[in-house]
Amino acid sequence: MSKAEAKEATIRQLYTELNKHCGSAEYDKALKAANKIIALDSSEWKAAKCKLVCLIQNGKFEEVLKFLDRGTSIPDTTFEKAYSEYRLNRAEDAFRTIQAVAGSAGASVEQWAGLAPNLKELLAQVLYRLERYDECFELYRSIIKNTHDDYDDERRTNMSAVAANRCIVAGANGDQTQLPEDSYELAYNAGCALAGRQQYGEAERKLRTSEKMCREALEEDGASEEDIIDEITIIKVQLAYCLQMQGRVKEASALYADALRHKTNDAALTAVVSNNLVVINRDQNVFDSRKKMKVATSEQAEQKLTSRQRKTIAFNNCLLAYFASPAECGLLASRLAVAHPELEFQSLLIRVAQLARDKKYREAIELLESYAQKLPRERTVELLQVRFAIVQLQLVAGNRRAAIETLEALGDARYRPGVVSALVTLHLGLDNKQAASEILKSAVDWYKRQKGGISDADLSDMWRQAASFHLRGGEPATAAKSLEELLRTHPNDMKLLAQLVIAYAQFDPAKAQQASKRLPALETLTTVSEIDALEATNWMMIAKAVRRKQPLPGGGASGGGARGTGADQSPGAGTPAEQRRQKRKKRKGKLPKNYDASAQPDPERWLPRYERTGYRKKRDRRVKEVIKGSQGTASGQADQYDMSKVYNQAKQSPATPGAGGSGQHEQTAAAAAATRQLPRKNQHKKKKGKH
């Protein structure tokens, strides 16, 4: 056998071995067989293709790219190269690789139509990773329309995930596309879309439905409880976010804690949970928040987070440093501005707040002014925010005049209602009523010169305040201008017209007379019945005055006669109810049973009992009396109540011990002992009675 025949036989044998290992998913052994074939013949592109597949299956994406860079005889390696770049988180490189195959494609679905099906699927994943959701959504729609196989459910799930992210980016005005919800993944994505549109109540209900469907589906498939919890955790985290946005912080914290306790392998999910718990903690429990923020900002988590999530976590990290580490706060704010230029102003405000907390107001104001100088005039909203921040710092520092100068330097923005109100308040705080009046005058004149672009409804409150201020300040002519502007938009407001008449009357009676003709007549405002009702009510007068009030003359005659007589009631006598009140006799007062009309009444009968002469004050048992002498008596009374001395004095002899004295003493002691025992017996009986 020649060398060529032997080589061919060896290659044939290696291919058999390669096919066997690939069929049994033994990719390490298959890779060795493929390397042997390539070593024997480098032009064997099928073996090279198998080598690429084995490397990808083993997750060795860097080796795939190195092998392709050395050059191979494989006809087309676009998919393998783009997929390896995608798995290495190099989405931009993967997109350029696919775009190179499509030529000038990469701009629309029509131009991507010529790509192979596997490249279309990969391109959709790449666009999703690049957060180009609109293009990704249209591409998925085209793939689902033109492809029918066993992976249709996965494509629909991916498409609903893209739609949910479109809603999250767009906010409340997100896409309203309705997608099917016949699986728990689709229901979960529908809930995320509702949360993106800020419909948190509806999102909560949808997510709870998804959780129930997930458990039922996995239990039917025979999944373990650990696997079910793994799949449900992400649903619960999204549910916790909806609860948090509804203000139900305790419920959200419990769900977040359960997610961390489960220790999921999803780094992005752990980062989101940690960040949200830091937000709930705010300036409390700072040590725990710093530990969680380290997890949220880890490199492993950042690779799987979207740009929006990374930006939010970075901003929250700066806010946490403001409370926890002032020295680190400025450095993190500077990094935030570099990594996310759209958050430059927010990072500046964090640095300014840090300086203000240290009472370095001048440095903070200089920092804001230098930033304002770099801003173009087109960014008017941001310029106003900077100026208002400067005013806030000046007021905190106690410099009202500097704050007034800053507000007056805003140009036409100084005539905005809020700025006018602030200026008037500051001038009045400095007791400068003339300056406050001038501010309101100039604002009124400026708005009168404006022809369009200003909502009159938004200025009504300012016109009213200006008119009231000038009327109180003795400037009726200026107040009349404001009232005229108000009447132009509210012509039927009679209160405004009345105020205008009052203002005119102070400087132009003719105008006041002319304007008063537009006021409604007095007869149209009230009726006779309303006057009668007001006079009849007793909230304006005391009860006696109401009873004394005479009926109006001219009352009609009653059909009935007076009780007890047959005479008719005279005109003007009032209603039957009033007649009954007038005829009612006064009832006599009741007298005591043993009342004697001839006896002289007690002259002190109207005095309180404690002021009468025979009143004896009762002893208050709650007040403890001071014990004086033996047996609670004073020392001077001791002899009076000593029975032995009384007995001896009766005999008129010196006190000597005897049977009588001893017996009397014993009897007294026994009586005292019996007296002391009585409460105890009563108490014992009460206790026994209770049992």
- pLDDT higher than threshold 70 for residue 279: yes
Question: What proportion of the chain, given as a percentage, has pLDDT over 70?
Answer: 73
CA distance 671 to 678: 11
Q: Give me the pLDDT at residue 621, please.
A: 60
Which of 97-101, 487-491, 566-570, 648-652 is predicted least confidently? 566-570
Minimal CA–CA distance to 309: which of 297, 318, 321, 319? 297
Minimal CA–CA distance to 158: which of 203, 208, 107, 124? 124
The residues, ordered by sequence, that sit 6+ positions from 640 with a Cβ below 8 Å of its Cβ are 646
CA distance 194 to 207: 10
CA distance 462 to 460: 5
- pLDDT higher than threshold 60 for residue 233: yes
Tens digit of pLDDT for each residue in 138-187? 999 889 888 888 888 888 999 999 988 888 887 766 666 677 788 899 99
What's the Cα-to-Cα distance from 209 to each of 298, 527, 555, rounded to whole Å?
A: 33, 63, 75
- pLDDT higher than threshold 70 for residue 499: yes
Which of 32-41, 62-71, 462-471 is predicted least confidently? 462-471
* Backbone φ, ψ for residue 671 (5° rounding): -65, -45
Which of residues 35 and 576 earns the better pLDDT score? 35
Q: What is the overall mean pLDDT for the chain?
A: 78
Q: Which structural domains are found in the chain, ordered by start?
A: 3-168 (1.25.40.10)
Q: Give me the pLDDT at residue 670, please.
A: 35
Contact 290, 324 (CB under 8 A): yes
Q: Give me the pLDDT at residue 215, please.
A: 93
Residue 157 DSSP one-character state: H
Answer left, alpha or beta for residue 527, where phi above 0 means left and psi between -120 and 50 means alpha: beta
3-state SS, one letter per residue, for 366-387: HHHHHHHHHCCCCCHHHHHHHH
CA distance 295 to 306: 16
Minimal CA–CA distance to 360: which of 329, 328, 397, 399? 397
Q: Give me the pLDDT at residue 574, please.
A: 52
Q: Give me the pLDDT at residue 689, please.
A: 41
Structural element, H or E, at residue 548: helix 543-548
**pLDDT (mean) for 343-355:** 91
Contact 50, 72 (CB under 8 A): no
**pLDDT (mean) for 267-275:** 93
Q: Give me the pLDDT at residue 110, please.
A: 67
What's the Cα-to-Cα distance from 513 to each of 455, 501, 518, rounded to whole Å?
A: 31, 8, 9
| Verdict on whether the full-model pTM lies above 0.85 | no
Tens digit of pLDDT for each residue in 551-599? 544 444 444 443 443 434 444 445 555 555 556 666 667 777 787 888 8
Which of 89-98, 110-119, 257-266 is predicted least confidently? 110-119
- pLDDT higher than threshold 80 for residue 528: no
Q: Give me the pLDDT at residue 415, please.
A: 84
CA distance 9 to 494: 109
The residues, ordered by sequence, that sit 6+ positions from 56 with a Cβ below 8 Å of its Cβ are 64, 80, 83, 84
- pLDDT higher than threshold 80 for residue 283: yes
Q: Give me the pLDDT at residue 665, please.
A: 40
CA distance 590 to 588: 7
Residue 334: count of CB within 10 angstroms of its CB: 15
Amino acid at 66: K
- pLDDT higher than threshold 50 for residue 647: no
